[in-house]
Chain A
Amino acid sequence: MTIPFPSDAWIKAMMADLNASEAYLAAAANWEGSFDFIIQVGGKTTTLYMDLWHGKCREAYEVPEGAEHKADFRLSGPVAVWQKVMTKKLDPMQAMMTGQLKLTGNMAMVMKNVRAAKELVESCTRIPTEFPA
């Protein structure tokens, strides 16, 4: 069974995957900071939120449209780019370094915990995903 992306069910599936990952737990032991994954599909923008704290995801949901909301980190881009990253056709670091995905937030936290970011993306790739046509 595949889960549509982006959706509330999808981010909750990723939360379950992350919380089962030993590799993420070890890599993100020092990570503090919530994350917004911002996905542009056509003219619509969907925000999927994750509260990440020391190797665990404490909460995850799709942010309702118009809700007052801001996470510590924001990673945004068109769904086509997300799809390439999540199907391992595009390296996530290269996507960010060439501006195809835009990351904002405390960059010192990112640079000191790159493996955590890598494991986060690895988790994305494990979710059986259905992308918008």
Chain B
Amino acid sequence: MWIFSSPTIVYGEQALSHLESLSGRKACIITDANLVKAGLAAKVAAALAPTGMQVEIYDRVEPDPTLEAVKEGAQAMLALQPDWLIAVGGGSVIDAAKAIWILYERPEMDPEAINPIETLGLGAKARFAAVPTTSGTGSEATYAIVLTNAAEKRKLGLGSREALPGVAILDPEMVLGLPPRQTADTGLDALTHAVEGFTSTFHNDFSDGLCLNAAKLVFRWLPEAYADGTNIEARTHLHNAATIAGLGFGNSMAALAHGMGHALGGVFHVPHGRAVALFLPYTIEYCVRGEEGSTRYVELAKFLGLHAGGERDAASHLVNAIRDLEAQLDQPQTIAACGISREDFERELDLLAANALNDTQTIMSTRVPEFDELKRLFTICYEGRLVDF
């Protein structure tokens, strides 16, 4: 027994106009100050105007939302009493909005305790829609919530199936102004979701096709969206790919690259997509050295048109394809290339390994490293060596 969840997805040019079909009393747009400055929050507010709803804007979400930040957001919602929450932003904003929604409905809850096991009973106060302004995190189509415990320098992979947005609106116009660096970081996050969603131990018949197609779309369209952000065709396909990958991994699971990426992001604040994409090729090398026949790289490589003579051959071609793509996007491929000094890295290595060890995504990997193995893996990723164990 397993469950497939999806929001209603409205996509393509003019998708934003779907907002006029919402009905309610008061909508609160949850976003960040930069997106307000860029005029994207105003676009959403304008699209909501025909509904006659009162529209408020809460713009205090920051990158890598903390436990404190979402509690503060929930306080704001308790004061405003909206019956629609509309997240407008990238993964940080949408994840924060999910947690804010939960705490608005369940003010007594500890955000660290948001879990996919208990029933929360959301929806008594408000409904939830998401309008992504990046093409990558897929948060608009998943129930996953990543929050940062700042005191512990730790990103927590949380979530509740009830926190899935009811509506996801994918309007390519919302990403036309996304700078190349963020386009690459977030687009590679989508690729990582597609690969890990397909290869994690939770993979299933429903998510497989989504993950495969999303991976193909990212390989096909990300270089063009990176090279020319105004290319509407590339933007549209990449935007769709991110949500498709979200549906894929959201109904399966991510895996080790996400576990290690969360750890790195929690300690060194490397952007999420950059961190997980950096680890992806290394984790493929690591997993394929596990139990023979435990991975699905042959199927994935074949689908992508890569050579796949056997499990190891497929993995190595997949790794090369990912590294070639990352090179085209001027992406850092080692921890050192993220600008982290050897000294800082070594000081935090135990914490990185400890946090990755207990990350909710790490345990979905086909090969699950122990503490010492994680230290070795992080060190290899720092130096950019081949995984040899």
Interface size class of A (residues with CB under 8 A): 20 to 34
Q: Does A13 contact B (CB under 8 A)?
A: no
**Closest beta carbon of chain B to A96's beta carbon, Å:** 5
- B117-132: contact bitstring with A at CB < 8 Å (1 yes, 0 no)? 1100000000000000
The majority secondary structure among interface residues of chain A is helix
Across the interface, name the chain B residue whose C-beta is closest to A30: B358
* A-contact 0/1 string along B1-17, CB 8 Å cutoff: 11100000000000000
A27-B357, A111-B360 in contact; A96/B117 too (CB < 8 A)? yes
Question: Whole-angstrom distance between the alpha carbons of A133 and B40 in the complex?
Answer: 63
Assign chain B's interface to a size class.
Answer: 20 to 34
Interface residues of B in 148-207 (CB under 8 A from A): 154, 156-158, 161, 201-202
Q: CB-defined interface of B361-389 with A at 8 Å, one 1/0 digit per residue?
A: 01100001011000000000000000000
Known A26-B357, A91-B201; judge A112-B2 contact (CB<8 A). no
The distance in angstroms between the C-alpha atoms of A110 and B116, with both chains bound, is 11
Q: Does A94 contact B (CB under 8 A)?
A: yes
Residues in A with CB closer than 8 Å to B114 are 107, 111
Q: Which residues on A sit within 8 Å (CB–CB) of B117? A: 96-97, 103, 107, 110
A106, B113: Cβ atoms closer than 8 Å: yes
The answer to whether the Cβ of A100 comes within 8 Å of any Cβ in the partner chain is yes
- Cβ A114 vs Cβ B358 within 8 A: yes
Q: Does A23 contact B (CB under 8 A)?
A: yes
Binary CB contact string for chain A from 110 to 132 against chain B (1 if under 8 A, 0 otherwise):
11111110100000000000000
A1 at the B interface (CB under 8 A)? no
A103 to B112, CA, bound (A): 16
Alpha-carbon gap, A91 to B110, bound state (A): 26
Which residues of chain A are near B201, meaning CB under 8 Å? 91
Cβ of B359 to closest chain A Cβ, rounded Å? 8
A114 to B356, CA, bound (A): 11
A111 touches B202 (CB 8 A): no
Known contacts A94-B2, A98-B3, A116-B358; A111/B113 CB under 8 A: yes
B115 and chain A: residue at smallest CB distance: A107
Which residue of chain A has the shortest Cβ distance to B363 in the bound complex? A118
Which among A98, A112, A115, A116 is the interface contact of B112 at CB below 8 angstroms? Answer: A112
Given contacts A23-B370, A27-B358, A96-B117, are A111 and B112 in contact (CB under 8 A)? yes
**Smallest beta-carbon distance A15→chain B, Å:** 22
* B residues near A67, Cβ cutoff 8 Å: none
Give the docked Cα–Cα distance between A116 and B113 (Å): 16
Q: How far is the CA of A84 from the CA of B40 in the complex (A)?
A: 50
Contact pick for A115, options B110, B202, B357, CB 8 Å = B357
By a CB distance below 8 angstroms, the chain B residues around A94 are 1-2, 202
Report Cα–Cα, A108/B359, bound state, in Å: 13
Cα–Cα, bound, A20→B290 (Å): 24
- Our pick among B158, B161, B362, B368 for the contact of A111 (Cβ within 8 Å) is B158
Query: What are 20 A-B residue pairs whose CB atoms fall within 8 Å in the complex?
Result: A26-B357, A26-B370, A96-B117, A97-B3, A97-B116, A98-B1, A107-B114, A107-B115, A107-B118, A108-B113, A110-B117, A111-B112, A111-B114, A111-B157, A112-B358, A113-B358, A114-B359, A115-B358, A115-B362, A116-B358
In the A-B complex, list the 5 residue pairs whose CB atoms are closest, starting with the nearest: A108-B112, A108-B113, A107-B113, A115-B358, A107-B115
